[in-house]
Copies of this chain bind each other. A is one copy, B any other.
């Protein structure tokens, strides 16, 4: 699947939501809302529409988006209940191949993070690796709640950008 933007713009909402419903993890409502903004000039314009929709949510809505994300190397990875996109991202970053010590540390830090903030640690796993994820998780546990909410949403947008790029051709081929 790699459509050009004119094909995207021609989709009825049902097909659009089927295809783009998980560009924000488990929040098909975001894609379903953004369909109202078509036509899109480019994949970046679609990405911008998603970002603007998220930015317009109340703070509780941003926290809601974060809370729909799975833990890294958590229960959903072990039980095979991750979304296909998350599974690919987490395994790509080595989350399925932690040593016993790393797994223990990750579980402990995830719990500490969730206890402190009331939402999970979110990071764009495709832009990083195992060592960096553990380091960032440990560091970000020290932040303030509002700063982490903002940071988590920035990561959601990076994840969204990469997911969109696997679905939509970024520019007309003759420009490449």
Contacts and interface: CB of A to CB of B under 8 A. Distances in A.
Interface in A65-101: 65, 67-68
Contact of A34 (B13, B60, B68): B60
Contact of A17 (B13, B56, B67): B67
Contact of A28 (B17, B26, B58, B119): B26
Contacts of A17: 67-68
Q: Main SS of chain A's interface residues?
A: helix
A4 interface: no
Contacts of A3: none
Q: How many copies does the complex hold?
A: 2
A63 B33 contact: yes
B32 A63 contact: yes
A68 B32 contact: yes
A4 to B, nearest CB: 22
Interface in A51-67: 53, 56-61, 63-65, 67
A35 interface: yes
Most chain B beta carbons < 10 A, residue from A13, A28, A29, A63: A29
A153 interface: no
Contact of A60 (B14, B37, B59, B64): B37
16 contacts: A13-B114, A26-B29, A27-B28, A29-B61, A31-B64, A33-B58, A33-B61, A33-B63, A33-B65, A35-B64, A36-B59, A36-B64, A36-B118, A56-B58, A57-B57, A57-B61
| 3 A-B pairs with least C-beta separation | A33-B64, A32-B64, A32-B67
Given A12-B114, A14-B67, A56-B61, 9 more contacts: A13-B67, A26-B29, A29-B61, A32-B63, A32-B68, A33-B57, A35-B67, A53-B58, A53-B60
